[in-house]
Chain A
Amino acid sequence: MTLFEQINYLISNYGSYFIKGLMATLVLAIVGTLVGLFLGIFFALLRNLSLDEHDNRLQRILKIIGKIVATVHIEIWRGIPMMVQAMLVFFGGAAIGISWARLGFSDFFNGYMICGLFVITVNTSAYMAEIVRSGMNGVDKGQMEAARSLGMSYMQTIWHVIIPQALKNSLPTIGNEFIVNIKDSSVLNVIGLTELYASVSAATNRNYFQIAGYIIVALIYLVLTLCTSLLIRWLSKSKKNKISNPFTLKHDNLTQGESNNAL
């Protein structure tokens, strides 16, 4: 069989393996990135806590503890390869009595998947924390001062003014993290999770068409990452002036285009 025929053979006979692997990879990357971003915002806020002259003693102690917790979390999860983290969480968890298999609730969301989701999410949260923190620090100091001078609390200011701008600034880097997750989720096969990369072994263990199998997944990875890049580029452009938040009002009688033209 030529290489092309091998590829054809694998797609015809083992297409469902690749689709299942693709689904697993997408779920890992999407959930890992979104939940990781949410957790990352939390850890970024903790790590960005600074002592204020208005703080009382208890507030100062809590802030210092929060900062230490965030710093330790970020440094540990960024400092160890995800493959090692996956092994430690999966087998280490089992050693201390966490039964990942029991946490699974369906054929797709089995114990391996739950453990994989946990690892990729927490790992991503550490990177996201630094991405969001850098985005927050890039927001002009005057934004915080203006909001506080109007009587808005620190958290109101963070939620309504700083975070939307920080996310907007960080959108390309957040998109990049999603691409990294699409690719790096492949290391989770070490705990027995059958994602896209691992689907090659499952599809080729009887026919030995490994090269053809890896060409197929390489193309799928490439298509996924290219599409994500294009999506991020489009989002960065189209959302330039439209970061959503609970207080954004509908522009009934003037579109952004008109407003730009009017000037």
Chain B
Amino acid sequence: MPSNNSIIKVENLAKSFDGATEVLKDISFEIFKGDVIAIIGPSGSGKSTLLRCINQLEMPTKGTISFHGKNINQLNLNNYRSHVGMVFQSFNLFNNKSVLDNCVLPQRTVLKRKKKEAITIAQQNLSLVGMSDRMYYKPENISGGQKQRVAIARALCMKPEVLLFDEPTSALDPEMTASVLDVMKKLANQGMTMAVVTHEMQFARAVANKLIFMDGGYILAADTPEKVFTACKDERVNNFLHQKYENKD
């Protein structure tokens, strides 16, 4: 259950590209320890950009992001990033490394862990995501769902305080989607703090404790999934959710 322990606080965040296209407009929200936040909304609404701003892969144009109360601009960027893991839609496993090496390399280079310790931690996390039997495979020899599970294990090896998921299942077929969602549910049950950009409404409703709906760069609704799904008065939110459920049926 979420406590009052704030990990990330986003305040009045704005992001524009080339000084013209404003993708995020005045975004404010907070991620508390244990939160599972689902960020939903139509394509182009700024969901992915928001996650990328939190991980500093994009620099916000305005506003502040705080990590444990400190503005992240005052923190060491690489150190901060090692606490905020990110899982991408396109997996982005290192193609020149085996599954195990993918998990070992960041631990060795960023956390300076000893090789033996790094391998043990990597094996534990690969086992957690059900990939311990593919440790020595190269990314090109495993399926999309397996790649995404390895990407999750790689992020977990850094022992992050928050995991950001950017549409982790959008590139997967339903069967593989289920395997990745199972891992994410497992993590949520273990108390991992997560922010998930997703189009999986069932997952958002069942697993998230907070749901953020974005459109046009604004947050239109932020509440518990039940309240957003059943009691939200915003027409655009209702239309979107209605369409999503109709399409599912």
Q: Which of B26-34, B96-104, B236-244 contacts A (4 or more CB under 8 A)?
A: B96-104
CA distance A143 to B97 in the complex (A): 11
**Chain A residue contacts of B47, Cβ below 8 A:** none
B115-133 with Cβ < 8 A to chain A: 119
CA distance A143 to B106 in the complex (A): 13
Flag if A263 contacts B106 (CB, 8 Å). Answer: no
A142-B90, A156-B109 known; A251-B82 Cβ under 8 A: no
Flag if A53 contacts B59 (CB, 8 Å). Answer: yes
Name the residue of chain B whose CB is nearest to the CB of A251: B136
Flag if B81 contacts A150 (CB, 8 Å). Answer: yes
Measured CB to CB, the closest approach of chain A to B217, in angstroms, equals 19
B210 adjacent to chain A (CB < 8 Å): no
**Chain A residue contacts of B85, Cβ below 8 A:** 149-150
Flag if B57 contacts A241 (CB, 8 Å). Answer: no
Please give the number of chain B residues whose Cβ is less than 8 angstroms from any Cβ of chain A in the complex.
41
CA distance A230 to B6 in the complex (A): 61
B88 adjacent to chain A (CB < 8 Å): yes
* Interchain CB contact (< 8 A) of A145 among B57, B93, B97: B57
Flag if B110 contacts A152 (CB, 8 Å). Answer: yes
A151-B81, A253-B136 known; A161-B94 Cβ under 8 A: yes
A151-B106, A160-B109, A247-B97 known; A54-B119 Cβ under 8 A: no
Name the residue of chain A whose CB is nearest to the CB of B118: A247
A39 adjacent to chain B (CB < 8 Å): no
7 nearest A-B residue pairs (beta carbon): A151-B82, A146-B92, A142-B92, A53-B59, A149-B86, A151-B110, A150-B106
- Can you list 21 A-B contacts with CB-CB less than 8 angstroms, sorted by A residue number? A54-B59, A54-B77, A143-B95, A146-B88, A146-B94, A149-B81, A149-B85, A150-B81, A150-B110, A152-B106, A160-B109, A161-B94, A165-B95, A165-B96, A168-B96, A243-B96, A247-B104, A248-B98, A249-B104, A249-B119, A260-B141
Which residues of B are in contact with A by a Cβ distance under 8 Å? 55-57, 59, 77-82, 85-86, 88, 90-98, 100-101, 104-106, 108-110, 119, 136-138, 140-142, 151, 154-155, 158
Which residues of A are in contact with B by a Cβ distance under 8 Å? 53-54, 140, 142-143, 145-153, 156, 160-161, 164-165, 168, 241, 243, 245, 247-249, 251, 253-254, 256, 259-260, 263
